[in-house]
C-alpha cells in the first residue's frame, strides 16, 4: 500500500519513506520530527535531515498532515486518518484528541459564502490537564 501511495504521488518508494509512513501508521497520536527520528534510528541508519526532508516532502504531497502545536512544535500524522482537534496541556504538553469535528458545518458555510476551496483546518484548546491543574492548585 505504501508503495502505491508514494507512486501515485510521483515519489520513489524508498526504504526511508516507507519506514516513516510505517511509524506514523502505528502511532496513536501525531508525532514530532524528533520522535519520528528516534524510532526510525532504531530500525535504520537515517540522519535527522533526511527524516525532516522526507516529512516535508510527504506533507507537500498531502500524504501526511503537519500541524503546529501550542508548544510551537510541528506534529505529523497520516492524512488518511482524517483531521483531529486537541486539548493541549500548557504544562506537560500532553495532547488529548477531541472526538469529531465541531467545525464541519462552519467550514461548509464559509466555503459556500466565499467560494474558497478549504482543504483543512486546525484547532486546539490550550489549558492544563487534570493532573497538572491539581499539582499547581
| Shared-domain flag, residues 42 and 21 | yes
- Residues in the chain, how many? 137
Q: Report residue 34: phi and psi, to 5°.
A: -60, -45
DSSP E strands in 79-118: the ranges are 85-89, 95-98
Whether the full predicted model's pTM is greater than 0.85, yes or no, is: no
| Shared-domain flag, residues 99 and 117 | yes
| Shared-domain flag, residues 100 and 38 | no
Contact indicator for 97, 85 with CB cutoff of 8 Å: yes
| Shared-domain flag, residues 10 and 75 | yes
Instruction: Enter the C-alpha cell of residue 134.
Output: 491539581
Q: What CATH number is given to the structural domain containing 115?
A: 3.30.1490.190
| Shared-domain flag, residues 115 and 130 | yes
Q: What is the pLDDT along the chain (137 residues), one digit of tens a residue?
A: 678 889 988 999 999 999 999 999 888 788 999 999 999 999 998 899 999 999 999 999 989 988 887 788 899 988 865 667 778 888 888 878 777 777 888 889 999 999 998 767 777 788 999 999 999 99
User: Residues at the annotated binding site for Zn(2+)?
Assistant: 89, 92, 129, 132
Based on the structure, what is the number of domains in the chain? Answer: 2
Contact indicator for 119, 65 with CB cutoff of 8 Å: no
User: Residues at the annotated binding site?
Assistant: 83, 89, 92, 104, 121, 129, 132
Domain that holds residue 109: 83-137
Amino acid at each position: 500500500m505504501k508503495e502505491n501511495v508514494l507512486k501515485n504521488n510521483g515519489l520513489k518508494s524508498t526504504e526511508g519513506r516507507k519506514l516513516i509512513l510505517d511509524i506514523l501508521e502505528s502511532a496513536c497520536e501525531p508525532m514530532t520530527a524528533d520522535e519520528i527520528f528516534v524510532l526510525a534510528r532504531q530500525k535504520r541508519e537515517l540522519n535527522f535531515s533526511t527524516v525532516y526532508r522526507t516529512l516535508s516532502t510527504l506533507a507537500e504531497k498531502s500524504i501526511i498532515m503537519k500541524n503546529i502545536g501550542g508548544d510551537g512544535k510541528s506534529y505529523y500524522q497520516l492524512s488518511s486518518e482524517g483531521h483531529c482537534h486537541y486539548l493541549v496541556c500548557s504544562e506537560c504538553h500532553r495532547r488529548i484528541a477531541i472526538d469529531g469535528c465541531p467545525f464541519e458545518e462552519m467550514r461548509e458555510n464559509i466555503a459556500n459564502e466565499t467560494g474558497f476551496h478549504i482543504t483543512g483546518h486546525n484547532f486546539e484548546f490550550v489549558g492544563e490537564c487534570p493532573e497538572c491543574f491539581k499539582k499547581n492548585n
